Structure formats: C-alpha cells, structure tokens
Amino acid sequence: MRILLTNDDGYHAPGLAALERIAVALSDDVWIVAPAEDQSGTSRSLTLTRPMRLRQFGERRFAVTGTPTDSVLLALGEVMRDKKPDLILSGVNRGANLGEDVFYSGTVSAAMEGALAGIRSIALSQRYPAQGVGDRVSFATAEAWGERVLRPLLAQDFAPRTLVNVNFPPVAPEAVKGISVTRQGLRDYGRATLEKRSDPRGYDYYWLALGRLPHQPGDDTDLDAVADDRIAVTPLHLDLTHAASLAMLNEAYR
C-alpha cells in the first residue's frame, strides 16, 4: 500500500512526524508532500497568482510553497505521477477539526482533494485543552490509537467523493473511552471580534478572534464524542446540495 502524508501545519510540524510513525505501521511505502509553512485555516484555497516551488528533503519527502490542496495536487501530478497513492492521510492536526471547523480546515481540505481524485482519504486531528498549550501539544493519544482507528477503515470501500474525519480527545491514551462513529456537529461561534494593535512603526494591524459558544449536546455528534473523551470518526461527503430545498426551488421557478 502506497500512502501519501500531508497536513496544514507545515512540513516541520510535530503532528506530521506523529502521523509518519502511525503510517509506517501500515506500510513501508510512505511519502510526504506537505506545505513548507503553516497553512492553518486555508481551507481549499489554491495558489493561482504566483509560482509554487517543490523542495526535496530526502527520499519520498517533499515540501511545497503552497497550501494543503496545492500539496496534494503536486503530489499526484508530479511527485507520484508514476504511481498514485492508495491512501491519503492528512494531519495529525494541532487542534480539533470538529463541526463547522471542516469548512475552514486545511487538514480536512487536503483529504477532500484526495477524495475528489478518487483516492481513499482520511483527516486526523488532535484536540488540545481549552486553555491552550502553545507549542506543547501532545500527540500521544493520536499515536497510541491511530493504527487502531485506521485499520478498520482500510477494509471498507469508501463511496465516491467521500472522506473520513477523525478527531482524538485531549486526554491520555489510557483515558480514551473508545471510538464512536458520529455525525458532523454544529456550534455557534458567536460574533467575530477584531483586536486592533499598532506595530513599532505606528502602523495598525489586527488579530481576528472567534468567540465560540457551547454546542447543544445530545445528538451524538463529533463534538459530543470528543467532549466525552471518545475518538470521533465522521464520514463526510462533498455534495453540498440541500436536497430538501430542491422541490421548493423547482416550484418557485415554475
């Protein structure tokens, strides 16, 4: 099995190193093509207004001066053009990708690009405590449980244009209560706030902050599972059509 690893935290991110340790338990044909720098929150953006560069760090190890989606495109179209991967793993992200996070996440978007290419694709993310821990995020739980989560998925046939989103809770490996298959949840982020500051030269700049409000539990979503110290395994698909509105809109245009 040929495996492609990518992420949105960048080529040198500890989570990508953790993902590589998970992947080598599954195959000895593991490739890395990841963004050269942190691309968190870039969603499915493409680099269209400037050229991209590909830097090789070793055998089957590459960094791209672009987004996670760019990285998958360059992997499939250049680095691995002789033989496409059988599996794409994206992560392990520093922080959860739960609920509406999937619309912003570069980690999930890289897996989306793989799904569009017809390749089995899985995104993996490690939630950290609410107060934040700077660069000291532990990926021990993702590493301890990663193979156990992935092996059953490898035995399944994914439907076309679907992917799986995996989130690990912010607890020690032995405290994990199990694995749950869940729906995508939804939180209310509340109103975005802008914090205005000035640099040493007197020019203004801004930090964007999102005030998340607690979700309403009870539907066994990915949010509920991780809050209950379970690993959330969530199938996603790329068809955003709201089927229930089709009849209403067809009637409106009659």
Bind-site residues for a divalent metal cation = 8-9, 40, 93
> Which of 170, 188, 169, 187 has the alpha carbon at shortest distance from 230?
169
Rounded to whole angstroms, the Cα distance separating 8 from 67 reads 7
Please state the residue numbers annotated as binding site.
Answer: 8-9, 40, 93
Residue found by looking up tokens 């994914």 in the block:
158
Helix 14-23, helix 140-154: angle, nearest 10: 40
Q: State the amino acid at position 107 in one-letter form.
A: T
Q: What would the DSSP string read from start to end of 145-159?
A: HHHHHHHHHHTS-PP
How many angstroms separate the most distant Cα atoms in the chain? 61
CB 150 within 8 A of CB 26: yes
Give the C-alpha separation, 161 to 224, whole Å.
Answer: 26
Place of tokens 């490898």: 154
